[in-house]
Amino acid sequence: QVQLVQSGAEVEKPGASVKVSCKASGYTFGSYGVSWVRQAPGQGLEWMGWISAYNGNTNYAQKFQGRVTMTTDTSTTTAYMELRSLTSDDTAVYYCARGNGHHDYWGQGTLVTVSS
């Protein structure tokens, strides 16, 4: 069965970087892209960007351009999202989600807390 399993919760200081992983299984990794979506406490869903697992092409939301990097490792069928220059506004649950537009499978979410 399709599964996306994310890395565990992180606590970071302001100005630091965080890298979240998303291990995919149960399907042909290169056939689907992966989006990263975040949700601040009590807030809605925010699309951050998408990466093709086929060729590594990326599309980033304008808000995150220059501060986010999405990568994949096809040998381990894992997607990664790195966010730099963290502030308290980046405290959120970060989700990876499979899809090339709509998203049919989601990871369990990774809580990233930014606090001094």
**Residues numbered 16-35 forming contacts with another protein, rule: CB under 8 A:** 35
Give the residue, chosen from 8, 87, 104, 116, that forms a contact with another protein under the rule CB under 8 A. Answer: 104
**Residues numbered 50-89 forming contacts with another protein, rule: CB under 8 A:** 50, 59, 61-62
E strand residue ranges, the chain:
3-6, 10-12, 18-25, 33-39, 45-52, 58-60, 68-73, 78-83, 92-99, 103-106, 110-114
94 binding another protein? (CB under 8 A): no
* β-strands 10-12, 110-114 pairing: parallel
Contacts to another protein by CB under 8 A: 35, 37, 44-47, 50, 59, 61-62, 95, 97, 101-104, 106-109
